[in-house]
Amino acid sequence: MIYIHIPFCKSFCTYCDFYSEICSPKVQKLFVDELCKEIEERRAEIESTLGLNTLYIGGGTPSVLKPELLKRIVDALGYGPYREFTVEVNPDDVTPEYALFLKGLGVNRVSMGVQSFDDGLLRWMNRRHTARGAVEAFSHLRQAGFDNISIDLIFGISSLSGEVWEDTLKKAIELHPEHISAYQLTVEEGSGLAQMIKDGRYAEASDEQCAAQYRTLCSMLRSAGFNHYEISNFALPGREALHNSAYWKRLPYAGLGPGAHSLTGEDTRSWNTSVISGWTREYEHLTLEQIREERLMLGLRTADGVDGMRIPESDWFISDSIIEDLI
Ligand code: SF4
């Protein structure tokens, strides 16, 4: 499992705290030079995580990267064809030509940040696409031959009414994507949204409003044939994300690029520092209790639950901190 983090965006969304920068083509090229160097330096470690044969390029916004630079990264890895090769895109970047380019690159799954089909909400989120633009981008991907497309949606915004949320879900279902990820808006420290709350320009949605929208989400997608396989993720049968599912099972993965995390042993997590150039790696050795907590926390997010085979019965216990998280 390989994850590549592309830390570029063309603008910043209200709610986002991911590491990302707005950069010139020259900086993009220097970034790719450094990323290719990291790939060479960590090749043995990358190869130790290739069992599932998945590649996920996320960000930031990978579709902001010039196509020739994205191709350089994929060529530098050199492990294709992948069983699952996902690239995250912004609808505004998806032209018919770009969709064909991704297809030619060996991408077989596209994850598109749609977030809403309401233009007022999209403006509030500072997204750079319209609802219509997202529908057109989806159509370009289909025309290019993609048969595995995931779209992201956001709910739990105080100005999102129940009617608009239902309409958003209806429009999402009408597109017939294979996968939908729907996230409740959370306030991340350092995001524009956190500042808006401090300034009194935004009040969070109530727990009741969020719960009602989550119930609507679950029931409408279930009725449309989606399998609710993780708290925030829904897939048509057989279209569950391989890469993300393996992450929830704590299989080893190698993350490259600024801010990317890796799990290269049961008890070894590492992450790259979040700088555009000269990123370094930091390590954390997990205790047995931390490993058990992670297995439980990740397993409980999924419909499969905790994989009993991976936790000997003698190791089962729930610590106070897990109970606090659950209630
Ligand atoms: S949500 Fe995506 S596009 Fe928006 S700022 Fe964050 S990384 Fe960039």
Ligand 1 within 6 A of 63 CB?
no
What is the structure's pLDDT at 321? 57
The top-level CATH class assigned to 2-247 is alpha beta
What is the structure's pLDDT at 324? 58
C-alpha span between 96 and 90 (Å, rounded): 14
| Confidence grade of residue 305 (pLDDT, cut at 50, 70, 90) | confident
pLDDT score of 60 more than 70: yes
> Counting beta carbons within 10 angstroms of the beta carbon of residue 50, is it exposed (0 to 12), middle (13 to 18) or buried (19 or more)?
middle
What is the structure's pLDDT at 95? 98
Report the separation in Å between the CA atom of 60 and the middle of ligand 1, taken as the mean of its atom positions.
5
What is the structure's pLDDT at 100? 98
Report the separation in Å between the CA atom of 14 and the middle of ligand 1, taken as the mean of its atom positions.
9
Ligand 1 within 6 A of 60 CB?
yes
pLDDT score of 145 more than 70: yes
Report the separation in Å between the CA atom of 152 and the middle of ligand 1, taken as the mean of its atom positions.
12
How many helices (H) and strands (E) are present in the chain, helices listed first? 12, 12
Query: Residues of CATH 3.20.20.70 domain(s) within the chain?
Result: 2-247
Closest residue CA from atom 6 of ligand 1: 16
Ligand 1 within 6 A of 149 CB?
no
pLDDT score of 316 more than 70: no
Mutation choice for ligand 1 from 5, 6, 8, 9, CB with most ligand atoms inside 8 A = 9
The string of DSSP codes covering 238-302 is: T-S-HHHHHHHTT--BEEESTT-EEEEETTEEEEE-S-SSS--EEEEEPPHHHHHHHHHHHHHHB
Q: What is the pTM of this model?
A: 0.92
Q: How many angstroms from the chain centroid is the CA of residue 155? A: 16
pLDDT score of 322 more than 60: no
Mutation choice for ligand 1 from 10, 14, 17, 18, CB with most ligand atoms inside 8 A = 18
Report the separation in Å between the CA atom of 159 and the middle of ligand 1, taken as the mean of its atom positions.
20
The whole-number average pLDDT for the span 55-68 is 96
| Confidence grade of residue 312 (pLDDT, cut at 50, 70, 90) | low
Ligand 1 within 6 A of 18 CB?
yes
What is the structure's pLDDT at 308? 55
**Closest to 162 measured CA to CA, from 218, 223, 212:** 212
Query: What are residue 269's DSSP bridge partners?
Result: 263, 284
In this predicted model, what pLDDT tens digit does every residue of 6-36 receive, in sequence order?
Answer: 999 999 999 998 888 888 889 999 999 999 9
Ligand 1 atom at shortest distance from the alpha carbon of 127 = 4
Task: Quote the percentage of the chain above a pLDDT of 70.
Answer: 94
What is the structure's pLDDT at 267? 87
The whole-number average pLDDT for the span 67-71 is 97
What is the structure's pLDDT at 286? 93
Report the separation in Å between the CA atom of 186 and the middle of ligand 1, taken as the mean of its atom positions.
14
Cβ atoms < 10 Å from Cβ of 76:
16
What is the structure's pLDDT at 265? 80
pLDDT score of 327 more than 60: no
- Over the chain, what is the mean pLDDT? 93
